[in-house]
Structure 1
Amino acid sequence: MKKLLLAVFMTVSASAGFLVEPYLGYQLGSGDAGATDYTFNTTVIGGRVGYTMLGFMGGLDYSMGAESDLEGETAGVKTKTKFSQNNLGLFAGYELPILLRAWATYYLSTNLEQQEGTNKGKEYSGDGIGFGVGFTGLPFVSLNLEYRMMSYDEFDGKSLTNKLEENFVLLGVSLPLDL
């Protein structure tokens, strides 16, 4: 019995690993805050670190969006302001044996920082969720499609009456390393 238990635990620990996954992608997004509609498209760089075991994975996800324009339109009047984006979340997922993997992320903190104008340095903050799938048919590379929903309910530490809600599609490539 002892030998059987030892064999089971040795097998489980042999298949466990540390996940390091840098990724690069392009994010296409739109959203609204009250009567204003927004679009926000940017290049994203980030990474996931965590733990994998028997196909399951979980850990931290951090990403940064390059400085780009948040374009808004209210009653036909268009505005354009430069923002950068930062997201920090917890992810959990599963790698299927058929060259696909799927995951979900809860973003504990997501920020849009204004890069110009009278509010330079001030930021929208909130949280969000994301769902992703990846195709792992290429050696060492995963082609990813992710849908993210962010809700910003504070600006410069003060509550907003009209939340800024944004939805993004992220197309990316990553290098999932199971160490």
Structure 2
Amino acid sequence: MKKVMAVFALVLGFTSVSQAGLLLEPYLSYEMGTMSGAQDGKTSGTGLGARIGWTAPVMFWAALDGSTGTVTSKPDVGADDDGKRTSLYATVGVDFPILVRGWLGYGLMNEVSFDTAGKVKGKATKIGIGFTGLPFVSLNVEMIKETFDDADGATMDPTLDNSATVLSVSLPLDL
């Protein structure tokens, strides 16, 4: 009986799960959007980012979500303009037990530096959903609403809204 208890204790010791509560989630993304306001047109771009945060023992998590990437603005009138996007969001989310996760984010920093039009800054919010049924990766869709109202040396009218859909593939690591 002592041997059975020792084997049981050994097996139980190796199968217990330890969790530090650290979320590390790198991702690659592609954005498609529609801008309105001072200029109407389309936007598109690619991005590279990561969420770094804390996971609760029961489904919830909070993270800083930073990304950088390229963006192309295609206004209905005028020439196309390429730029570089930098964003930082405060994000909270829930990992549901049915292979789905969802999150909300508020933009702490959101700026685009266009090659010819200059730099614009503004506010942003996002809502996202991810499918986690594949091994190791999550397939995600986010809806982002941006309002640019600050021109830092920009030659364009800074009042510009962008509504974008972002498709991404991420590697959520719960360490």
The alignment's TM-score, normalised by the length of structure 2, stands at: 0.83
In the alignment, structure 1 residue 42 sits paired with structure 2 residue 45: yes
The alpha-carbon deviation at position 139 of structure 1 amounts to 1.2
CA distance in 1, matches of 2:69, 2:159: 20
In the alignment, structure 1 residue 136 sits paired with structure 2 residue 132: yes
In the alignment, structure 1 residue 166 sits paired with structure 2 residue 162: yes
Q: Which residue of 1 aligns with 2:9?
A: none
3-state SS of 2:132 partner:
strand
The alpha-carbon deviation at position 38 of structure 1 amounts to 2.2
Q: Which amino acid aligns with 2:45?
A: T
The alpha-carbon deviation at position 157 of structure 1 amounts to 6.5
Structure 2 residue runs of 5 or longer lacking an equivalent are 1-17
Q: Which residue of 2 aligns with 1:11?
A: none
The alpha-carbon deviation at position 82 of structure 1 amounts to 1.3
Structure 1 stretches of 4+ moved >2 Å: none
> Which is richer in strand?
1
CA distance in 1, matches of 2:36, 2:69: 19
Of 141, 144, 165, 1:145 maps to 141
- Give the share of equivalent positions with the same residue, in percent: 36
CA distance in 2, matches of 1:60, 1:88: 7
In the alignment, structure 1 residue 51 sits paired with structure 2 residue 54: yes
Q: Which amino acid aligns with 1:69?
A: T
The alpha-carbon deviation at position 25 of structure 1 amounts to 1.3
Q: Which residue of 1 aligns with 2:66?
A: 62
In the alignment, structure 1 residue 83 sits paired with structure 2 residue 83: yes
Q: Which amino acid aligns with 1:113?
A: S
Indicate how the Cα distance of structure 1 residues 142 and 113 shifts in structure 2: closer, same or farther if over 3 A, else same: same
Deviations 1:123-170 (A, max 9, x none): 100111000000000111100000000111001178x86611001101
Of 113, 116, 123, 2:119 maps to 123
Does the 8 Å contact 2:148/2:158 carry over to 1? no
Does the 8 Å contact 2:101/2:130 carry over to 1? yes
Does the 8 Å contact 2:151/2:157 carry over to 1? no
Structure 1 residue runs of 5 or longer lacking an equivalent are 1-13
Q: Which residue of 1 aligns with 2:34?
A: 30
The alignment's TM-score, normalised by the length of structure 1, stands at: 0.81
What's the C-alpha RMSD, in Å, of the aligned pairs? 2.0
Alignment coverage as a number of residue pairs: 157
Deviations 1:92-148 (A, max 9, x none): 010000000000000111101012x3x4xx310011100000000011110000000
Q: Which amino acid aligns with 1:87?
A: S
Higher Rg: 2
CA distance in 2, matches of 1:137, 1:147: 21
CA distance in 2, matches of 1:148, 1:126: 13
The alpha-carbon deviation at position 64 of structure 1 amounts to 1.1
In the alignment, structure 1 residue 17 sits paired with structure 2 residue 21: yes
CA distance in 1, matches of 2:91, 2:153: 26
The alpha-carbon deviation at position 15 of structure 1 amounts to 5.1
